[in-house]
Amino acid sequence: MVDLLGGVQKVMRQMLVARGVESTLVRVAGQTLHSYRLEGEGSGPPVLLVHGLGGSANGFARTFFGLAKRFRRVLAVDLPGHGFSPELCGGPICVQAHFDVLQAYCRQVVQEPAYVVGNSLGGAMAVELGAQAPELVRALALVAPAGADLPPGRIDAVLKDLIEVHSASEARALTRRLFHEAPVPLLLFSHELRKFYGTPTVRALAQEAIEARAALRPEVLGSLKMPTLLLWGASEKLLPYESLDYFRAHLPAHAQVQVVEGFGHVPQMERPAELVSHLVAFADGAGL
């Protein structure tokens, strides 16, 4: 069978490169990572874009050029086993190993405090980065972040829905949950999503989350000192509503929480220009 979405991903990379985006493979902490880099026109700090479980740097592609108008550099990394980065090597496939690689990427490639934008699992990792290595983070933007400590069973159902997609109808149902209004082409080929969510990396990370009940502790969220923005979609259908309540309760008082009409779980794909507007407005207000 033709790898349709894989082909689309490669074409998207070719188009980005043709427009001046650098696509590179780097060795970080013994791991090969793919990342994008676009030199910007603005004076703001570098922006680092971190995708979620089963996602990739390509998901942020339509935000690159808008962000480059305001910031010095835009970087987007494929975490191990995602996008164009090979599976994690040299140890167990777990969230901690992915976080360690992300932190090493920041030190080796970004090399200065960045405006870190994380979506879903990437949002949870961005929080940990801000808490454990604040010298690497100028500001945080959490876009539909994962990591809330939810009632038993609530997150398990979400994760099982992600990795247990067996039929075309289940694939379409998952696709609809990711968006405010799912694009018709994605609905038509949503069965291809099984290839993204059925990888060893995604299955291992999801299984770890189910078994270990890993969550961001209240004291970790409360420790964030840098400017912090949380963007939550009014049309969020993937993560349980209790997630927003948890972040509201435990983020520090200086954090801004915005519920945005028309945003689903992945606004970088569905409303990229609006997402850029929110990110830039926050940066302006924070004096970045």
4-285 folds as: Rossmann fold (3.40.50)
User: Bigger pLDDT: 150 or 2?
Assistant: 150
* Helices (H), ranges, the chain: 4-18, 64-68, 95-105, 121-132, 154-163, 168-178, 184-188, 194-197, 200-212, 218-222, 242-250, 267-270, 272-285
118-137 pLDDT, tens digit each: 999 999 999 999 999 999 99
84-124 pLDDT, tens digit each: 998 887 666 677 888 899 999 999 999 999 999 999 999 99
Neighbouring CB atoms inside 10 A of 84's CB total 19
Average pLDDT of the chain, as a whole number: 86
Q: Where are the domains of the chain?
A: 4-285
User: Bigger pLDDT: 43 or 280?
Assistant: 280
Residue 46 has pLDDT above 70, yes or no: yes
48-84 pLDDT, tens digit each: 999 988 889 999 999 999 999 999 999 999 999 888 9
Which of the four pLDDT bands, split at 50, 70 and 90, describes residue 2? very low
Q: Among residues of the chain, what percentage have pLDDT more than 70? A: 82
Q: Among residues of the chain, what percentage have pLDDT more than 90? A: 56
CB neighbour list of residue 16: distance below 8 Å, 6 or more residues apart = 23, 36, 61, 64
Residue type, 284: D
**Cα–Cα distance between 145 and 119 in angstroms, integer?**
6
C-beta of residue 107 within 8 angstroms of C-beta of residue 80: no
The average pLDDT across 159-184 equals 70
**Cα–Cα distance between 130 and 150 in angstroms, integer?**
22
Which of the four pLDDT bands, split at 50, 70 and 90, describes residue 1? very low
Per-residue confidence (pLDDT) for residue 154, from 0 to 100: 67
